[in-house]
């Protein structure tokens, strides 16, 4: 068995930045303030467990404490709505804004387009934190998950406002061909749709590296959290290319049948720490030696 790693894999700039900011906030607040994140800081169980053991607590935005005057709240890379940011500030929380600069750009674009009268379509997963956060900057935007839904929503809007100025924004992790499909579905009703390129370069690079890797391997492991949208997307891309692929959160998840494949690929989502990638690669190499 031979192991080939994707050329680009693991932590992206936004996740690395959020992790560093959380580490620094914990250090600065040690013994003085409680430190929270709104929802999990990143979608990786090992990293979350490590932070939990250092005292980082997870806040549920539906049950915010009345008084946050002695607390530090870290806004994670996905960002939050401006309404929630105001609510936290009103409760006295000291905010550490770890919103990824790429996501921040989408939020600002949604805000400025709304201000000049655009009707916005937002392509992505309705329940994802990033999408919810962007929606806060464009409350009337239409969230669409696939071309079918986009067409339906565009048709409805066309009936009530055929001359509407429209724009399309997307979740940073959406696959380019999916984004294009959604854009085309809207353009059937609004040919002048303004398509904003919001796909993150880190996502694109990881997806591109995986597509390049697929033809060279017989099976593939994608290291990362099951809750991570970009990791799940990598798995879907590998499967769409006809590869047998598994998502592995930890070494114990490596399927024993992987040994049957002569060449195995290893990719990893943008929230997968280097340590985990290293451990999985080591375990695969051990399996390789045993087989030899």
Least separation in angstroms between residue 206's CB and ligand SF4 is 8
Binding segment for ligand SF4 (CB under 6 A), chosen from 12-20, 120-128, 184-192, 233-241, is 12-20
Query: Strand order of the sheet with strand 166-170?
Result: 142-144, 119-123, 166-170, 194-195
Query: How many Cβ atoms sit within 10 Å of the Cβ of residue 85?
Result: 20
Q: By CB under 6 A, how many residues form the interface with ligand SF4?
A: 14
Work out whether 200 is an interface residue with ligand SF4 (CB under 6 A).
yes
Name which of 12 and 29 has its Cβ closer to ligand SF4: 12
DSSP 148-159: HHHHHHHHHHHH
Identify the CA nearest to 229 among candidates 207, 198, 197: 207
Binding segment for ligand SF4 (CB under 6 A), chosen from 10-18, 66-74, 152-160, 252-260, is 10-18
- Site for ligand SF4, residues 93 to 132, rule: CB under 6 A: 100, 102-103
- Site for ligand SF4, residues 14 to 43, rule: CB under 6 A: 14-15
What sign does the dihedral 223-226-231-234 (CA atoms) show? positive
Q: Which helix (H) or strand (E) is 170 found in, with range?
A: strand 166-170
- For the question of residue 149 being annotated catalytic, the response is no
Work out whether 230 is an interface residue with ligand SF4 (CB under 6 A).
yes
Tokens found for residue 55: 């005292």
Interacting residue with ligand SF4 among 6, 8, 12, 264 (CB under 6 A): 12
Work out whether 270 is an interface residue with ligand SF4 (CB under 6 A).
yes
Least separation in angstroms between residue 42's CB and ligand SF4 is 9
Name which of 195 and 202 has its Cβ closer to ligand SF4: 202
Least separation in angstroms between residue 11's CB and ligand SF4 is 8
Of the residues 7, 57, 85, 130, only one is catalytic, namely: 130
Q: Are strands 119-123 and 142-144 parallel, antiparallel or unpaired?
A: parallel
Least separation in angstroms between residue 59's CB and ligand SF4 is 20
The CA distance from 198 to 201, in Å, is 9
Name which of 200 and 220 has its Cβ closer to ligand SF4: 200
Query: How many Cβ atoms sit within 10 Å of the Cβ of residue 246?
Result: 16
For residues 71 and 47, is the Cβ–Cβ distance under 8 A? no
Name which of 6 and 270 has its Cβ closer to ligand SF4: 270
Identify the CA nearest to 172 among candidates 205, 137, 139: 205
DSSP 69-81: TTEEEEEPTT---
Work out whether 71 is an interface residue with ligand SF4 (CB under 6 A).
no
For residues 82 and 60, is the Cβ–Cβ distance under 8 A? no
- x/- track of binding to ligand SF4 for residues 155-174 (CB under 6 A): -----------------x--
The CA distance from 147 to 54, in Å, is 44
- Which residues of this protein are in contact with ligand SF4, per CB under 6 A? 12-15, 77, 100, 102-103, 172, 200, 202-203, 230, 270
> Which residues are tagged catalytic?
130
């Amino acid at each position: 068995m031979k192991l080939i790693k994707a050329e680009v894999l693991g932590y992206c700039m936004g996740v690395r930045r959020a992790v560093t900011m959380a580490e620094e906030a914990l250090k600065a607040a040690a013994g003085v303030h409680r430190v929270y994140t709104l929802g999990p800081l990143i979608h990786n169980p090992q990293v979350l467990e490590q932070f939990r053991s250092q005292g980082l607590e997870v806040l549920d935005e539906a049950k915010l404490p009345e008084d946050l005057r002695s607390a530090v709240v870290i806004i994670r890379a996905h960002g939050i709505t401006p309404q929630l940011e105001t609510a936290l500030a009103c409760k006295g929380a000291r905010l550490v804004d770890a919103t990824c600069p790429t996501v921040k750009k989408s939020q600002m674009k949604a805000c400025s387009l709304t201000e000049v009268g655009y009707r916005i379509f937002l392509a992505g997963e309705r329940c994802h934190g990033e999408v919810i956060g962007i929606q806060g900057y464009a409350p009337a935007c239409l969230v669409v998950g696939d071309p079918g839904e986009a067409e339906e929503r565009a048709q409805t809007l066309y009936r009530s406002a055929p001359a509407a100025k429209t724009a399309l924004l997307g979740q940073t992790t959406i696959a380019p061909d999916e984004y294009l499909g959604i854009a085309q579905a809207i353009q059937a009703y609004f040919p002048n749709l303004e398509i904003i390129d919001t796909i993150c370069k880190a996502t694109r690079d990881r997806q591109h590296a995986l597509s390049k890797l697929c033809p060279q391997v017989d099976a593939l492991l994608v290291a990362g959290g099951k809750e991570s949208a970009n990791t799940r997307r990598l798995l879907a891309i590998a499967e769409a290319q006809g590869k047998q692929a598994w998502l592995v959160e930890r070494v114990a998840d490596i399927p024993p049948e992987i040994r049957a494949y002569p060449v195995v690929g290893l990719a990893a989502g943008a929230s997968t720490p280097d340590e985990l990638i290293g451990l999985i690669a080591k375990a695969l190499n051990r399996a390789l030696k045993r087989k030899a």
